């Protein structure tokens, strides 16, 4: 088997069987972005639902906001579990 050049070895993706004990700065920035995106989507869906007069659309906006709220809380739950361990 021929060995790959160093630059190609760097691009290889590593698979982990368990999450690492320490999060990198880049990991933390990504988690922060995920929280911000879900919070913003939740707020926009809530605002759209409050302004909407069509009952069906209002229901869809409310469900969308609730979904993003669940995602936000799931991410926070994972972070809290990690901190407790």
Q: Is residue 47 part of a domain?
A: yes
Would 57 be classed as within a structural domain? yes
**Is residue 41 within 8 Å of residue 68, measured between CB atoms?**
yes
Residue 53 lies in a domain: yes
Instruction: Decide if 3 is inside a domain.
Output: no
Tens-digit pLDDT profile for the chain (85 aa)? 455 554 545 556 777 787 777 888 998 899 999 999 999 999 999 999 999 999 999 999 999 999 999 999 999 998 888 777 6
- CA dihedral angle for residue 63, residue 67, residue 70, residue 76, rounded to 10 degrees: -140
Q: 69, exposed or middle or buried, with CB in 10 Å at 0-12, 13-18, 19+?
A: middle
CB 38 within 8 A of CB 68: yes
Answer whether residue 11 is part of any domain. no
The predicted structure's pLDDT at residue 5: 52
pLDDT of residue 74: 95
How many structural domains compose the chain?
A: 1
Q: Which domain holds residue 35?
A: 23-84
The reply to whether 59 falls in a domain is yes
- With respect to residue 14, please indicate whether it lies within any of the assigned structural domains: no
pLDDT of 11 reads 58
Residue 67 lies in a domain: yes
Q: What is the DSSP string of 12-56?
A: SPP--SS--SS--HHHHHHHHHHHHHHHHHHHHHHHHHHH---HH
Q: What is the pTM of this model?
A: 0.72
């Amino acid at each position: 088997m021929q060995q790959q050049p160093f630059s190609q070895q760097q691009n290889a993706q590593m698979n982990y069987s368990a999450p690492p004990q320490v999060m990198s700065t880049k990991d933390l920035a990504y988690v922060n972005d995920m929280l911000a995106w879900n919070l913003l989507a939740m707020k926009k869906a809530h605002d759209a639902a409050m302004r909407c007069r069509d009952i069906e659309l209002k229901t869809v906006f409310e469900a969308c906001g609730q979904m993003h709220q669940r995602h936000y809380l799931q991410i926070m739950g994972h972070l809290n579990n990690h901190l407790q361990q």
